């Protein structure tokens, strides 16, 4: 235990002092997240609104004009409700306002105290954050128009409807992917590169000349990297939620489980790569060979079901696919650990296989 | 009881026999050398003694324990400095010593070790920023944290500048003064001659000579060595004359001439007379006692650094 603590402390010091490694592990996720965070915001400054005037009465035209006067809305006319609905669903427009037939007549009646005139608002649901903003802005505008006509209560009522399939924005999609990617990179690099360098320099052999067991060395070093991974997860999630207002659900146990299991898998793969690589220079392309395809194919940046069927069937089994899927399910859909058994089991199998392979491939020199 | 006893040590790597039946004993408190060219089997032998490799055959006792059966008993009593300095780049000198101190039951105080190896000024320098000599000293420092009975040094001065080499020699002599047994491998003849009480010469995995440097030279060379340089090549007749003069079997070939000579004054007198008569210029004349380098050349027919 004394040896373990000593090696753990020494490892931790080395990790903290290796600023370059820290920088590269966190640099990309943070930059990418920042880009997405700000991109997401910028696009909310202009709201593309389609206008479908089915009534074509002076009253309906007046209401339509009121929308055009709000600077944040970029209003264009659409030919039919179906066309407008399609465009909103495809996220080509942010929202559509439908002024139904007979709107003018109903507004007249409402102003005379008879019922109310309703118009319909379709808002795009592709980006959860933006959808709420758009809906709020449109409803407020409708209310203002109504109150301009009648002081006490608005004669016009907006009936809002969400259109589109994905319930979350890209930021919400990509943050779990970035977390998974960060875990993969930390896991692979911190083991494969460091172990081969130690082996090249004879550090491993020197350690073996002491009575300290290999298990002590391996567990202490892995624990250090695990701590670094957990801190990175906290930092990235904090940034995503705190600064960029990503709508994520944090189930601490599920996230912790996936962090530990996921990093464990990549530590073991890192040991395996270190074992089969000739030296610390040969291991770099080997690590890239493993990490780059996974980075692009395992659902970090785009959903893997958008890949060709045959490719999907293959990449679906990659460890990063399970890790990204598990993290995404819990962070964006709020799934608890209990409902993510399949991902956990698959990662556990990967962990086992990778450990066996790395033990067989391990070399002291 | 000897500090180390090795008998019939064999190590095979696949079909290659790296160590081929090596036997020797190291007495307590001596500096014992393993001398030989690169690839002779020195490092393999050392690493087997340190418990880092398993021998294919042979019996090895270190500090009274069998290295194969009780490696941890051995490891507790020895200090190891490997050929590669094997340091963690981003740990300071003090932290490195402290780390290895935590791996042993009753470590020596870190400050004491720092002082002994003259590393106090570098205590808070990262290992990666040390000079070659300082790295070697740190490497020896971590070999000393467990206050070992036996210290193994594998080519400790390779790659060091002359000043750093001499400093390290002082460090090694200091270990002997403390009563420690030192096993040292080297391919530098002068180093072995300077430091070792006794040594074995290894070539192709076999011991080809054993004894103290002086004893070995006396045993193999009764004579001194006369060497000089011929500025111009000799014709056949002159070459034969010079060969006979130096007591050699055949003619002498230049330009470097080296001969074992028992009657130094007589031979030199005859050499000068002959050279003057023959009109041959002899330069860079030197008379010296034989060195381990000469011994190696005599035993193997090869120079050590080939």
d(CA A125, CA A163): 6
SS3 content of chain B, % helix, strand, coil (to 5): 40, 25, 35
Task: Judge whether residue B222 has pLDDT over 70.
Answer: yes
Confidence of residue A42 (pLDDT cuts 50, 70, 90): very low
Cβ separation of A209 and B82 shorter than 8 Å?
yes
Find how far residue B61's CA is from the centre of its chain: 22
The stretch B223-228 carries a mean pLDDT of 83
Q: Please state, for a pLDDT cut of 90, what percent of chain B lies above it.
A: 49
Q: Are B275 and B282 in contact (CB under 8 A)?
A: yes
pLDDT at A68: 84
The CA-based diameter of chain A, rounded to the nearest angstrom, is: 97
Q: Angle at Cα B204 formed by Cα B200 and Cα B207, nearest 5°?
A: 25
pLDDT at A168: 59
Q: Are A158 and A121 in contact (CB under 8 A)?
A: yes
DSSP B218: H
d(CA A177, CA A300): 4
Within this chain, do residues A202 and A152 fall inside the same structural domain, yes or no? no
pLDDT at A127: 61
Domain that holds residue A118: 44-163
| pLDDT tens digits along B107-126 | 999 999 999 888 999 999 99
pLDDT at A43: 47
For chain B, what is the radius of gyration of the CA atoms?
Answer: 23
Give, for A20, the enclosing helix (H) or strand (E): helix A19-43
Classify A271 as helix, strand or coil.
Answer: helix
| pLDDT tens digits along A187-207 | 998 899 989 999 998 898 999
Instruction: Tell me how close the Cα of B103 comes to any Cα of chain A, in angstroms.
Output: 5
Residue B150 bridge partners (DSSP): B78, B181
| pLDDT tens digits along A222-254 | 999 999 999 999 999 998 888 888 888 889 999
> Strand B198-203's sheet: what is its strand order?
B78-81, B150-154, B181-186, B31-35, B198-203, B206-211
> Strand B57-62's sheet: what is its strand order?
B16-26, B4-13, B57-62, B65-66
- Residue recorded with tokens 């172990």: A195
Cis peptide before B255 (omega within 30 of 0): yes
The stretch A112-124 carries a mean pLDDT of 84
Task: Judge whether residue A21 has pLDDT over 80.
Answer: no
Task: Judge whether residue A91 has pLDDT over 50.
Answer: yes
Confidence of residue B31 (pLDDT cuts 50, 70, 90): very high
Which CATH number does the domain housing residue A113 bear? 3.40.1710.10
> Is B280 in CB contact (< 8 Å) with chain A?
no
Contact list in A for residue B155 (CB cut-off 8 A) is none
Last residue of a domain, one of A140, A163, A186: A163
Q: Do domains B4-214 and B222-288 have the same CATH topology?
A: no
| pLDDT tens digits along B138-164 | 999 999 999 999 999 999 988 888 888
Within this chain, do residues A174 and A51 fall inside the same structural domain, yes or no? no
Name the nearest CA neighbour of B95 among A215, A216, A197, A13: A13
| pLDDT tens digits along A268-319 | 999 999 999 988 889 999 999 999 999 888 888 888 877 888 888 888 899 9
Question: What CATH fold (topology level) applies to the domain B4-214?
Answer: Rossmann fold (3.40.50)
Contact list in A for residue B98 (CB cut-off 8 A) is 6
The stretch A17-35 carries a mean pLDDT of 80
Interface test with B, best of A209, A221, A224, A280 (most B CBs within 10 A): A209
Give me the residue from A3, A10, A211 closest to B88, CB to CB: A10
pLDDT at B303: 66
Task: Judge whether residue A38 has pLDDT over 80.
Answer: no
Show me where the domains of chain B are located.
4-214, 222-288
Task: Judge whether residue A41 has pLDDT over 60.
Answer: no
Task: Judge whether residue A320 has pLDDT over 90.
Answer: yes
B window 117-156, beta carbon within 8 A of A = 126, 142
Confidence of residue B183 (pLDDT cuts 50, 70, 90): very high
Last residue of a domain, one of A114, A129, A163: A163
Within this chain, do residues A28 and A157 fall inside the same structural domain, yes or no? no
Within this chain, do residues A135 and A244 fall inside the same structural domain, yes or no? no
Q: Are A245 and B126 in contact (CB under 8 A)?
A: no
Task: Judge whether residue A162 has pLDDT over 80.
Answer: no
ipTM above 0.85, yes or no: no
Within this chain, do residues A9 and A64 fall inside the same structural domain, yes or no? no
Q: How far is CA B200 from CA B9, B78, B184, B213, B289, in A?
A: 14, 20, 11, 9, 20
Within this chain, do residues A225 and A152 fall inside the same structural domain, yes or no? no
Helix axes B236-245, B264-278, angle to 10 degrees: 160
Name the nearest CA neighbour of A245 among A174, A182, A171, A134: A171
Last residue of a domain, one of A163, A189, A204: A163
Within this chain, do residues A186 and A334 fall inside the same structural domain, yes or no? yes
pLDDT at A128: 60
| pLDDT tens digits along B196-221 | 999 999 999 999 989 998 888 888 77
Q: Are B82 and B139 in contact (CB under 8 A)?
A: yes
* Domains of chain A: total: 2
Question: What CATH fold (topology level) applies to the domain B222-288?
Answer: Alpha-Beta Plaits (3.30.70)
Task: Judge whether residue B171 has pLDDT over 80.
Answer: yes
> Strand A117-124's sheet: what is its strand order?
A73-77, A47-53, A95-99, A117-124, A156-163
């Amino acid at each position: 235990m004394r040896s373990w603590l000593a090696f753990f402390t020494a490892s931790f010091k080395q990790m903290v002092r290796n600023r370059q490694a820290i920088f590269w592990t966190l640099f990309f996720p943070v930059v990418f997240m920042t880009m997405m965070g700000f991109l997401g915001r910028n696009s909310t400054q202009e709201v593309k609104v389609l206008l479908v005037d089915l009534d074509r009465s002076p009253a309906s035209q007046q209401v339509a004009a009121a929308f055009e006067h709000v600077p944040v809305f970029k209003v264009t006319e659409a030919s039919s409700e179906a066309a407008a609905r399609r465009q909103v669903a495809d996220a080509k427009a942010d929202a559509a306002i439908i002024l139904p037939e007979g709107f003018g007549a109903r507004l007249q009646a409402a102003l005379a105290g008879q019922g109310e005139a309703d118009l319909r608002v379709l808002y795009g649901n592709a980006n959860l954050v933006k959808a709420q903003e758009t809906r709020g802005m449109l409803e407020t505008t409708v209310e203002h128009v109504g109150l301009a006509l009648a002081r006490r209560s608005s004669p016009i009522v907006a009936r809002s409807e969400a259109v589109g399939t994905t319930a979350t924005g890209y930021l919400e999609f990509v943050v779990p992917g970035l977390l998974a990617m960060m875990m993969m990179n930390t896991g692979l690099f911190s083991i494969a590169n460091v172990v081969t360098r130690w082996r090249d320099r004879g550090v491993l052999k020197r350690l073996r000349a002491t009575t300290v067991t290999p298990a002590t060395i391996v567990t202490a070093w892995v624990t250090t990297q695990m701590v670094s991974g957990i801190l990175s997860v906290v930092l990235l999630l904090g940034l995503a939620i705190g600064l960029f207002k990503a709508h994520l659900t944090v189930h601490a146990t599920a996230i912790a489980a996936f962090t530990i299991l996921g990093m464990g898998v990549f530590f073991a793969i890192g040991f395996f790569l270190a074992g089969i690589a000739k030296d610390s220079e040969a291991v770099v392309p080997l690590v890239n060979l493993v990490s780059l395809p996974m980075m692009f194919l395992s659902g970090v940046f785009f959903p893997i079901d958008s890949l060709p069927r045959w490719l999907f069937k293959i990449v679906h089994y990659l460890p990063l696919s399970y890790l990204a899927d598990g993290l995404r399910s819990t962070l964006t859909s709020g799934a608890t650990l209990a409902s993510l058994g399949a991902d956990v089991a698959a990662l556990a199998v990967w962990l086992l296989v990778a450990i066996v392979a790395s033990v067989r491939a391990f070399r002291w020199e | 009881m000897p500090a180390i006893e090795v008998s019939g040590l064999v190590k095979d790597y696949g079909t290659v026999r790296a160590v081929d039946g090596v036997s020797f004993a190291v007495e307590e408190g001596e500096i014992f050398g393993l001398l030989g060219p690169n690839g002779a089997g020195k490092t393999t032998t050392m690493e087997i003694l340190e418990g880092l490799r398993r021998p294919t055959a042979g019996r090895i006792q270190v500090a009274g324990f069998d290295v194969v059966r009780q490696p941890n008993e051995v490891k507790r009593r020895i200090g190891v400095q490997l050929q590669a300095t094997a340091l963690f780049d981003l740990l300071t000198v003090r932290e490195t010593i402290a780390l290895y101190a935590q791996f042993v039951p009753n470590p020596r105080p870190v400050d004491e070790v720092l002082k002994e190896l003259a590393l106090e000024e570098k205590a808070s320098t990262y290992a990666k920023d040390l000079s070659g000599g300082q790295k070697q000293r740190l490497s020896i420092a971590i070999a000393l944290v467990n206050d070992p009975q036996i210290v193994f040094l594998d080519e400790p001065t390779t790659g060091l500048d002359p000043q750093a080499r001499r400093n390290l020699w002082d460090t090694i002599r200091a270990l002997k003064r403390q009563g420690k047994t030192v096993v040292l491998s080297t391919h530098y003849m002068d180093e072995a001659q300077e430091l070792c009480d006794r040594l074995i010469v290894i070539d192709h995995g076999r011991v080809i000579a054993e004894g103290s440097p002086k004893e070995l030279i006396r045993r193999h060379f009764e004579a001194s060595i006369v060497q000089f340089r011929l500025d111009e090549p000799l014709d056949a007749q002159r070459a034969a004359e010079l060969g006979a003069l130096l007591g050699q079997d055949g003619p002498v070939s230049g330009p470097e001439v080296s001969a074992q000579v028992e009657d130094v004054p007589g031979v030199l007198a005859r050499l000068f007379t002959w050279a003057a008569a023959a009109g041959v210029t002899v330069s860079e004349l030197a008379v010296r006692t034989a060195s381990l380098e000469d011994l190696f050349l005599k035993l193997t027919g090869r120079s050590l650094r080939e």
